[in-house]
Amino acid sequence: MKISVYIILLLFIVPLQTTFSSSLDSLSPEFWMKASFESVDKIISEDKPDTASLDEALANSAISSNNVKILGTLIQHGADVNSKDEDGMTPLMDAAMASSNTEIITFLISKGADVNKKTTLGQTALMFSTMNLVQPDIPNLLIDRKADVNAQDNSGKSVLMYAVCNAEDTSLLKTLISDGAKINARDNEGMTVLDYATRYNANPEVISFLIFKGADVNAKDNSGRTALMYAAAAGPETVQPLLSSGADINAKDNFGKTALIYASMASKPDVVTELISRNADQSITDNNGFKASDYSNAIKKGNLSFSNDVFSN
C-alpha cells in the first residue's frame, strides 16, 4: 500500500529499525524515512520484486526519503519514474506534495520525470507544490523545469488559483504571473483567480497584488457572483481593496443578492458597516424578496441560520 503523505508527521515518535530484510511490498513508512541505500539494495537483490512493487517503492521513497541513491537503485532495477497509482499520482507529484527537498525533485526530473503529467483529476506536480509551502523552492524549481503555469485541472482550476488559496505572501504569485500565468483565467464555474483569493484565502496583500496585476474586480462567475460578494463573507480588510479599485458595490448575482446581503447572511457586522459607509444600497431585495436587514434580523432572532459557507445555500 502506498504511504499517505499525512502519515509522515506521526512517524517521528515510532522507533526505527532499518536492518531487517523484507519484501518491498511490506515495508513500513518509517522504514522509508530512514532507509539506507544498502538496506534497500539488499532487499531488491534478495526479493527480486516485480515492476509494480518497484514502482510503488519509488513513490514511497519519493514521499519519505531524502536519499537520491535509493531512488536511483529503484529506477536502475526497473521502477518507472513516470508510473502512476490508481489516482494518477506519479513519484514527482508525491514528492512535490510531501515537500521533499529540492534534490529529490531535481533527481526525478533528471531521470525523466514528466513535470506536466496529470492525475485522474487533472492535477499536476506544480499544483501540488503550491498546497504545502514548507519547501517554497519546489514550485520555483518546477517552473524552471518548464512546468505549465497555465495548467488547469478537470474542474478548470488553474495553477494560479491553487497558489492564491494557500499564499501567505505574493512571492510565488509574482513568479507565476511573470512566467505567463493568466490572471483572469476562469474555472468551469466561471470563478476567477480573484474569486478564489477572496473566498478561500482573504489575504488583503494577495488581493491587492492581484488587482494591481490586472485582475477584473467586477468579473462575474456563472452564478453572477463577484469577488466583492465572496469578500463580504470574510472581513472588512478583504473588501476594502476591492472597493478602492472600483468594485460595483450594488452588483447582483443570479439570486438577486448583493455584497451587503451576503455580509448580512454571513453575520459580518464590520463588513456591513463598511459597505453601508461606502453607500451600499440597503433597500435592494433578492429573488426571495429579502433585504440585507431582513437576513440580519432573522439570524439574530434565531429564525434563520446558515452553514459556514453562505454561498452553498
- Which structural domain, as residue segments, surrounds residue 237? 217-308
**pLDDT value of residue 82:** 95
How far from the centroid of its chain's Cα atoms is residue 260's Cα? 29
**pLDDT value of residue 283:** 98
Q: How many domains are contained in the chain? A: 2
Domain annotation covers residue 155: no
Among the three residues 109, 125, 141, which one is the final residue of a domain in this structure? 125
Domain annotation covers residue 297: yes
Instruction: In whole angstroms, give the CA distance from residue 278 to residue 250.
Output: 10
Among the three residues 85, 101, 125, which one is the final residue of a domain in this structure? 125
Instruction: In whole angstroms, give the CA distance from residue 209 to residue 248.
Output: 19
Identity of the amino acid at 310: V
Domain annotation covers residue 195: no
Domain annotation covers residue 162: no
Among the three residues 74, 102, 125, which one is the final residue of a domain in this structure? 125
What is each CA distance from 144 to 77, 126, 138, 244, in whole angstroms?
A: 29, 11, 10, 36
Give the helix/strand (H/E) hosting 70: helix 68-76
Same domain, 14 and 117: yes
Interior CA angle at 206 toward 203 and 210, to 5°?
140
Identity of the amino acid at 87: D
Domain annotation covers residue 164: no
Per-residue pLDDT of the chain (313 residues; tens, 9 = 90+): 555 554 444 443 333 434 334 466 656 556 666 666 677 777 777 778 778 888 887 887 777 777 888 888 888 888 899 999 999 999 999 999 887 689 999 999 999 999 999 999 999 999 999 987 777 899 999 999 999 999 999 999 999 999 999 899 999 999 999 999 999 999 999 999 999 999 999 899 999 999 999 999 999 999 999 999 999 999 999 999 999 999 999 999 999 999 999 999 999 999 999 999 999 999 999 999 999 999 999 988 887 777 667 887 6
Domain annotation covers residue 166: no
**pLDDT value of residue 53:** 81
Domain annotation covers residue 149: no
Q: Indicate the DSSP class of residue 263.
A: H
Name residue, grid cell 512546468: 147
Q: Indicate the DSSP class of residue 267.
A: T
Q: Which CB contacts under 8 angstroms, 24+ apart, belong to 37-44?
A: 37/67, 37/69, 37/70, 37/73, 40/70, 40/73, 40/74, 41/73, 44/73, 44/74, 44/77
Which CATH number does the domain housing residue 303 bear? 1.25.40.20
